[in-house]
Amino acid sequence: MNIAPTFIVHPINVEQENVLKTLFNALKIRFEVSNESPYNKEFVNMVLQAEEDIKQGKGKKVSSEEFDNLWK
């Protein structure tokens, strides 16, 4: 028994999304649309908060030497 592969596509705008949906329908390819992010929501929120903090001047600058010392 051959199992067909699953393809995961990532359109970057609505135009690409519409073209893909049209193509899949024309070729009678079953597909699902999911709006769930593959990323952990807590992690995404931390990154977004960090970006906002930097915009507000709450970030901390470190020298390349200080940065290198973090790994030692």
In the predicted structure, residue 35 carries a pLDDT above the cut 80: yes
> How would you write the chain as a 3-class SS string?
CCCCCCCCCCCCCHHHHHHHHHHHHHCCCCCCCCCCCCCCHHHHHHHHHHHHHHHCCCCCCCCHHHHHHCCC
Mean of all residue pLDDT scores within the chain: 91
Residue 1 lies in a domain: no
Q: What is the pLDDT of residues 47-66, one digit of tens each?
A: 999 999 999 999 888 899 99
In the predicted structure, residue 1 carries a pLDDT above the cut 80: no
CA atoms within 13 A on the CB side of 15: 0
Give pLDDT, residue 2.
78
How many domains does the chain divide into? 1
Q: Is the pTM of this model over 0.75?
A: no
Q: Which domain holds residue 35?
A: 14-69
In the predicted structure, residue 39 carries a pLDDT above the cut 90: no
Residue 30 lies in a domain: yes
